[in-house]
Structure 1
Amino acid sequence: MGWAEKRTGIAFAIALFAALAAPDAYAANGAYAVDAADISEVGSCKVESWMSVATNTDFSAVANPSCVVNPFTPIELSLNTNRARSDGEWSTTLSPKAKTNFVPTGIGRWGFSAYAGGSFDAATGENLSAFAVIPATYRLSETMRINLNGGWLWDRTVDRHYLTYGIGFDWKFTDTLQWTIEAFGQAGASDTPSVVQPRFQTGVRYRPNEIFSVDVIYGRNITGENANWITLGTTIRFPVEGAQPEHRRTGHL
C-alpha cells in the first residue's frame, strides 16, 4: 500500500469516534458510534448530519463537517455540533476531533488508528469532556469487517474518568446497502446505573454512489438514559478530484 493510500485512510477515521467520548453526542461513522480504522484522501471533505429522537422525548440534531489535511502527516479534523434536549433541558455542544491512521487495514489483518478531542458548551465555553480512542479494524473480506474501539473519557461535568469500549460489525450485502450492528459504552463509577450499562445500535445504510448515503438506525440507551432511539442520518462527500473511489481503495466497505 502506497503513501497516497495511507493518507487516504487517515481522513475518514477522525470524525467518527466522538460518540464514545462525548456523553451527549455520538459521531463515529456518521451516526454510528463504533469507529473504523480506515480514513479518506488528503484534501477530501464531507458533511455528516443526523437527527435522533428517543421514547423519553430526548432529541438530538447533529452536523459534523470534516476535512483531511496533511500538515506533517495526514490528519482528519472535524467539528461535531450537537443541539440536544435531555430531560427537557436544551444544550448545544461543540466537539472538535483529530485522527490519524498508523497501520492501514487489509483483508486478513488488523489496521489501527488513533484520535483525540474534547467537547465544549457552545453557550458558556465550558470544557465538558476530553477523550482519546484507538480504533482497530479487521477485514474479513471486501464486504465484511469487525471494528473494535478502546479508549479513555474524562467527563468534566462530574469529574470522573471512564474506560470506553465498542465492538461493531459491518456487512455490505448489496452494491448499495450496508448493515451495521454495534455495542459500546463506558465503564467506571457512576451515580446513574444506565450511564455505565452497554449501549446498542443497528441500522442500514443506503449508498447509491460515492457522494451520498443515508442511514436509518435503531438504538438503545444511546446516551446512557435507558430509552429507545430512532435516527435518520445523511452523509455528503466531497472527494479529491481524480482520486480513486473509496471502495476501490479500502474494499467495498
Structure 2
Amino acid sequence: MKNNSYCIFIGTLLWVAAAVFAGPTLAAGGAHIVDDSEVETPGTCHVELWVSDFVPGDGYGNFAPACTSLKIPWLEIGAAYQHYWDQTIGGPLLGPQLKINFQPASKGVGFGLGLTAAVNVRTGDLGLASLLGLVTIPVTEKFRINVNGGWSYLDSDNPTAFFWGGQVEVDVGWDITLMMEAFGRQPGVIGNQMGLRYTPSAHPRFDFDLLVGTTYDVVNTKFFTLGVTVRF
C-alpha cells in the first residue's frame, strides 16, 4: 500500500512516537501511541528502543533518550531518531522533544503538554511537529485513563491536522500492564493498538512491550511492535 493515506499513517505513528516518554509501572509512553501526563522521575534518564513492522513488510526503528533533572522536576527533555525502511518516507528523522507536567496525576487528574519536531536528515526539511495536550485520570491504583489531543504537522498532502487519542491501562498482576488505545489524525486515518507491558519488580528500571495494532482506511493495515525502555 504505497498511497498518500499510508504515508499519513506512517507519519502519524512517527511524530506521536517521538512525543511519548516512559514513566514508572502502569504508565504510558515507550512504544504506546497515546501518552500520559507524567514526566520521567526527577533525577532519572531513560532510553526507549523499539521496532515496528507493518504488514506487508515496511517498518521503522526508534531510539529516544530523555531526562528529567532534580532542579526542574516538571520538565522532561529528550531527542528522538527514527529510521524507516519503506518507499514512502525518504529518510531518517531526527529532532528534539519536550514534555511539561503542570499537575501530577497523584493530585487527582494529571495535566501535561508534549512538544516535538523532527527534520529529514537527508534533505533538512521539517518532517513533522506536534503540540499535544496530555491528560491522565487515575480511576484506581490499578486502572487509569489517558487522553491526548492537539495540533500536528506532517510533511504530506494534508500537512496540518488534529490528532486525538484515548487509552486505558490496567494492572493485571504478575508485573504486567494491559493497554488498549485508539487514535486518529483528522483528516487522515484512525487506528487502535493493544498489548502488554512487563516491568519486572526485581528490576523496575526495565519495561518490555509487545504490541499489535491496526489502522482503518481505504486498506486496513496491521502493525506489530517490540520495545524496551531502560532507566538509569
Query: Do the two structures share a fold, i.e. TM-score over 0.5?
Result: yes
Letter in 2 for 1:149: N
Contiguous gaps of at least 5 residues in structure 2: 1-8, 21-28
Name the structure 2 match of 1:218. Answer: 212
Kindly tell me the number of residue pairs found equivalent between the two proteins: 211
Q: In 2 relative to 1, CA 224–90 (structure 1 residues): closer, same or farther, beyond 3 Å?
A: farther
Name the structure 2 match of 1:87. Answer: 87
Deviation per residue, 1:26-47 (Å, 9 max, x gap): 4231111100112222221000
Deviation per residue, 1:191-222 (Å, 9 max, x gap): xxxxx231111000111032111111001129
Residue pair 2:189, 2:216 contacting (<8 A) in 1 also: no
What is the distance in 2 between the residues matched to 1:150 and 1:214? 26
Name the structure 1 match of 2:12. Answer: 23
What is the distance in 2 between the residues matched to 1:224 and 1:50? 27
1:129 matched to 2:128? The reply is: yes
Q: Which stretch has the larger CA shift, 53-62 or 63-72?
A: 63-72
Q: In 2 relative to 1, CA 22–113 (structure 1 residues): closer, same or farther, beyond 3 Å?
A: farther
Name the structure 2 match of 1:173. Answer: 172
Name the structure 2 match of 1:236. Answer: 230
Provide the alpha-carbon RMSD of the alignment.
Answer: 2.5
Q: What is the TM-score with the length of structure 1 in the denominator?
A: 0.76
Residue pair 2:79, 2:96 contacting (<8 A) in 1 also: yes
What is the distance in 2 between the residues matched to 1:199 and 1:151? 17
More strand by share: 2
Residue pair 1:66, 1:77 contacting (<8 A) in 2 also: yes
What is the distance in 2 between the residues matched to 1:175 and 1:98? 32
Q: In 2 relative to 1, CA 114–162 (structure 1 residues): closer, same or farther, beyond 3 Å?
A: same
Q: In 2 relative to 1, CA 115–24 (structure 1 residues): closer, same or farther, beyond 3 Å?
A: closer
Name the structure 2 match of 1:142. Answer: 141
What is the distance in 2 between the residues matched to 1:77 and 1:197? 29
Name the structure 2 match of 1:241. Answer: none
Name the structure 2 match of 1:6. Answer: none
Structure 1 residue 162 displacement after superposition: 0.5
Name the structure 1 match of 2:194. Answer: 202
What is the distance in 2 between the residues matched to 1:90 and 1:182? 28
Structure 1 residue 73 displacement after superposition: 6.2
Q: In 2 relative to 1, CA 154–224 (structure 1 residues): closer, same or farther, beyond 3 Å?
A: farther
1:104 matched to 2:101? The reply is: no
Segments ≥4 residues shifted beyond 6 Å: 222-225
Q: Which structure 2 residues correspond to residues 112-123 of structure 1 after superposition, within 5 A?
A: 112-123=111-122
Structure 1 residue 59 displacement after superposition: 1.2
Residue pair 2:94, 2:118 contacting (<8 A) in 1 also: yes
Residue pair 1:78, 1:97 contacting (<8 A) in 2 also: yes
Residue pair 2:13, 2:33 contacting (<8 A) in 1 also: no
